Structure 1
Amino acid sequence: MADDLRYSKDHEWVRVESDGTAIVGVTDFAAEQLGDVVYVDLPEVGASITAGTEMGEIESTKSVSDLFSPLDGTVVEVNQAVVDSPELVNSSPFDEGWLIKVSFEQLPEDLLDQEGYAALTNA
């Protein structure tokens, strides 16, 4: 986990980029809980997403889980590499395994810092 990330209670992370967009991904804790990820369904570029609502789906050898948006915004980029190679969520959840890039106005106040997320997951 990194200091520049914020985390949702649904186990997504957010990193604000220098251009004002936010990159969203799934935490290593969630990836570990899921097991081997075999399929990722993400919103399309241009889609509006709302914090706390479903924005896609992630399927592993163990289960199918909904992906929840950690913030309000508009999808400006989808990580095609993850769509083509879902195992990147397991092997590199904070780098190559990111999911979407979002244009947003402000981060929700309920996002957790590293310490808060570690307490949530008892890490």
Structure 2
Amino acid sequence: MYPENLKYSKEHEWVKLEGNIAIVGISFYAQEELGDIVYIDLPEIGKTVKQNDVLAVIESVKSASDVYSPISGKVIEVNEKLKEKPEIINEDPYNEGWIAKLEISDPKELDTLMNVEEYKKFIGA
């Protein structure tokens, strides 16, 4: 339910590192709390974000929620499939449901994120 190879933020985003590229999404816990996701406002490619800036907005049947960037960087790719099928985030938040890929500008920020054990303790899992 919570992959061990990821880093997690207190706002329930996850980061998967591939070289200097960070793949970002929301955790299983976050998508469960949101309920059925019906829309996502993806970031623009080329947008530069700082750690904890709003990266995207997810709308569910319950509410709209900001997705915060767990790391600083430049958006180099977004998951276009989510435009047509935002519910992919509910079905597979860690693989098919990723939101954006960022070119990392400050790798040291990864040290401020939680590993899987810290995150599970944080959410009481």
For normalisation by structure 2, the TM-score amounts to: 0.94
Q: Which residue of 1 is the match for residue 74 of structure 2?
A: 74
Deviates more, 1:50-59 or 1:29-38: 50-59
Change (3 A) 1:12 1:107: farther
CA distance in 2, matches of 1:107, 1:114: 18
Match of 1:58, as an amino acid? I
Question: What do the CA deviations read for 1:4-52 (whole angstroms, capped 9, x no partner)?
Answer: 10000000000001x4211000000000000000001111110001111
CA distance in 2, matches of 1:93, 1:43: 17
For normalisation by structure 1, the TM-score amounts to: 0.95
The runs of 4+ residues in structure 1 deviating greater than 4 Å are none
CA distance in 1, matches of 2:65, 2:44: 18
Once the two structures are superposed, the pairs formed by residues 1-123 of structure 1 within 5 Å of their partners are: 1-17=2-18, 19-105=19-105, 106-108=107-109, 109-123=111-125
Match of 1:111, as an amino acid? L
Residue 55 of structure 1 and its aligned partner are, at CA, apart by: 1.5
Question: What do the CA deviations read for 1:43-79 (whole angstroms, capped 9, x no partner)?
Answer: 1110001111212210000111111110000000000
Any stretches of 5+ residues in structure 2 without a counterpart? none
CA distance in 2, matches of 1:10, 1:77: 21
**Aligned-CA RMSD value:** 1.0
Change (3 A) 1:107 1:32: farther
